[in-house]
Amino acid sequence: MRETAVTPVQVTGTVLTTRRVDAYHALTVVAPGVAERFRPGHFVSVAVGGPQTSMLTRRVFFVHDVKPDYGGTVEFVFTGRGPGTAWLAERRARDTLDLVGPLGRPFPLPRDPATCVLVGAEYGSATLFTVADALQQRGCRVDFVLGAASADRVFGALRARRMGETTTLTTEDGSLGMRGRVADVLPGVIADVRADAVYACGPMDTLRGVTAVAVEFDIPVQVAVEERMACGIGVCMTCVLPVIGDDGVTRMVRSCVEGPVFRGERVRFDDVGTIPFDALGAPGGGTRNVG
């Protein structure tokens, strides 16, 4: 039940508001064409550095929120640590941004009401709130597990507490919630709420841990990967990772167009950053690869 891709648009969006959220920055941009096509799990790409920029790759961000104001706005969250996001962090209201979106395949949603655990690490949590919204509209029960290295990097704890039946927080330094990582507390949460499905977003090692737990409980897990991208539209071939297809064959697929949402058990997390020897077209891959 793969969601079909929607046609992205390129817009010059006007920055509506900027705010700091703990360790992160959030920008709300008026982008009508993007907002109206948006579905949970989609992301947007932004050109950084202005018209004479020396930064040629676009920066991609999951969408935190979509509102109908001013014809449609999208909000995204970022850290501001690299030169591109530092430029974004300096944007002020009424500045314009070159935005392309919505991009990627969104999260598939259950047809019937179900109990879903939404797991987010660091600012990967940002993408979960539109998912939670869509799930609740379908009568699903939503529980959150959010975590990060420290309290100021747990994104959206307050909103999760308002939306979720339960919210479990983890930090690696113990400054908020339970000490540890999201995958450590997830088995308890799944058992307590009798979860039917897991939705997750965050760094690759978090997703690996979350997927392992869901597989243990034999429930479906949808993960949105944060792979490094340069274009976001499928032309640069940068954001590939090994994913097992319906036919059982591993392919190096682009997380921007074939993802960013994958069934967790299909992603070969242990092999991310490599070309597995049995992947289609791998060097020395044997007779299967001979054209």
Partner 1 sequence: MSVDMRTYLGHVELGNPITTAAGCAASGAELAQFFDLARIGALTTRSITMAPRAGRPTPRVAETPSGLLNAVGLQGPGVDAFLERELPWLAQRGIRTVVSIGGGTVAEYTALARRLTDAPGVTAVEVNLSCPNIEDRGRVFARDGAASAEVVASVRSVMRYDVPVVAKLSPDVMDIVSVARACVDGGADALSMINSPIGMSIDTEAMRPSLAAVTGGLSGPAIRPLAVRCVWQVHAALPSVPIIGMGGVLTGRDAFELILAGACVVAVGTALFHDPYACLRVLRELEELLAARGFHRLADAVGLAHRPPGTSTRHRIDLEESSL
Among 25, 39, 42, 58, binds partner 1 (CB under 8 A): 58
Can residue 17 be called a binding residue for partner 1 (CB under 8 A)? Answer: no
Can residue 203 be called a binding residue for partner 1 (CB under 8 A)? Answer: no
Can residue 290 be called a binding residue for partner 1 (CB under 8 A)? Answer: yes
Among 195, 207, 214, 279, binds partner 1 (CB under 8 A): 279
**Binding segment for partner 1 among 24-32, 126-134, 210-218, 222-230 (CB under 8 A)?**
222-230
Among 96, 212, 252, 263, binds partner 1 (CB under 8 A): 252
Can residue 7 be called a binding residue for partner 1 (CB under 8 A)? Answer: yes
Can residue 191 be called a binding residue for partner 1 (CB under 8 A)? Answer: no
d(CA 61, CA 238): 16
Name the minimum Å distance from CB 69 to partner 1.
Answer: 26
Can residue 244 be called a binding residue for partner 1 (CB under 8 A)? Answer: no
Among 86, 152, 257, 265, binds partner 1 (CB under 8 A): 257
**Binding segment for partner 1 among 11-19, 179-187, 190-198, 275-283 (CB under 8 A)?**
275-283
Among 8, 13, 120, 259, binds partner 1 (CB under 8 A): 8
Number of residues that this document lists for the chain: 291
**Which is closer to partner 1, CB of 56 or CB of 93?**
56
User: What are the beta bridge partners of residue 98?
Assistant: 12
DSSP one-letter code for 210: H
Among 74, 219, 241, 261, binds partner 1 (CB under 8 A): 241
**Binding segment for partner 1 among 19-27, 30-38, 158-166, 228-236 (CB under 8 A)?**
228-236
Can residue 284 be called a binding residue for partner 1 (CB under 8 A)? Answer: no
Name the minimum Å distance from CB 249 to partner 1.
Answer: 10
Q: Which of 45, 123, 50, 120 is nearest to 80 (CA)?
A: 123
d(CA 254, CA 181): 28
- Return residues touching partner 1 (CB under 8 A): 7-8, 10, 47, 54-58, 98, 100, 227-228, 230-231, 233-241, 251-252, 257, 272-275, 279-283, 285, 289-291
